[in-house]
Amino acid sequence: MAATLCSKFLQRQGWLPLIQSVRHGSKAVTRHRKTFHILRAKLMAVTKYVPPERVIPPGAYPSTTKRIQEDSALTLLLKRDLKKVFQDCKMVAVVQNSASSAEDMMLLKNKLFKHGIIVKFFPNQVMRSFLMDTAHSNMAPLFIGPTVLFVSKEPKVKEMLKALRSSPQMTLLGACIDDTLLSVDGIVSYSKLPSVAVVQGQLVSGLTMLTSLTASLLQRHPAHLSALLQQHVRQQSPDSGAAEEEAAS
C-alpha cells in the first residue's frame, strides 16, 4: 500500500507532497508460515488435541477380522495361464537365476527353444496362491526369490541339464515331471533312464526267459532231451530213496 502519486493530487508539475506515508501493513497470504499472534499461539497450545493413551501397543495382538483380498484381474489372467501350462506340459522345472544378464537369458532361451522348452516368468505370490489350490502344493516352498519356470510338453531333461550347465548362475531347484515332484538328484537319475521302448523290451525278455529256454530245449535233437530226462529221473530216485531210509531210521 505504498503511496502512489497520481495526477489528481499533483497540483503543479514538479510538486511533491510534504507528508508521505511510508508505513505499510503486512500481507495476510505469505509464502512462509506466518507466526501466530501471542494470544492465538496460547489458545492453540491450550486447545491442542491429545490422543487417548494406548495401554496395548498397536502391533501386539493380531486383529480378529481378516479381510480376504480378492484377486485382481491380472492375477486371474496369470492363474488361467498357469492352469493351461500345468495341463499341457509334462515337464515343469523351477530354476533360480541369481543374476544373469539379458544376453545370457536370450542365449539360454534360444538353446532351450530348439528343444521345445519355453522359459516362463510368473510372480511368486500368484504362483503360490495358485499352487495351494491344486495338487502340486508341495512345490510351493520352491518359489522364493528370483525364479524362472522351464516348461515343455515332452520331458527333455538331458538337453535342459546341458543348457543349464553352460550358465553358472542358474540353479536347478526341482521339477514336476509327469505329475511327480522330483528333486535335483531325481532329475539327474530320470535323465539317465533308458527310453520306454528299451525298458519294455527288458521286461518282456525277463518274463519270457523260462518259456524261451523250454522252447530252445524242445527245438534241439530229441535224444538230447531224453538224455536230460533220464538224468533227472536218476537224480530224483536216489534222493527219494535216501529220504525214505532216513524216515525209516
Partner 1 sequence: MAAPTKASVLLKAVRTITVRFCPFESNVRSTREFLAAVSSEKVRSTNMNCEVTSMVKHDRSEPIVDITYADGERLVMKGAQLTSREMLEAFQSRCIAKDPQGKAAAKK
Minimum distance, C-beta of residue 138 to partner 1, in the bound complex (Å) = 8
In terms of CB distance, is 79 or 136 closer to partner 1? Answer: 136
Minimum distance, C-beta of residue 99 to partner 1, in the bound complex (Å) = 4
Residues that bind partner 1 (CB under 8 A): 96, 98-99, 101, 138, 141-142, 144-146, 168-169, 171-174, 183-186
In terms of CB distance, is 75 or 171 closer to partner 1? Answer: 171
Minimum distance, C-beta of residue 108 to partner 1, in the bound complex (Å) = 15
In terms of CB distance, is 6 or 99 closer to partner 1? Answer: 99
Closest CA to 192 of 166, 171, 161: 161
C-alpha cell at 56: 496395548
Name residue 97's beta-bridge partners: 170
Q: How many other β-carbons are positioned within 10 Å of the β-carbon of residue 149?
A: 19
Closest CA to 217 of 208, 228, 206: 228
In terms of CB distance, is 82 or 172 closer to partner 1? Answer: 172
Handedness of CA 36, 39, 41, 47 (dihedral sign): negative
Minimum distance, C-beta of residue 97 to partner 1, in the bound complex (Å) = 9
Distance CA 136, CA 114 (A): 28
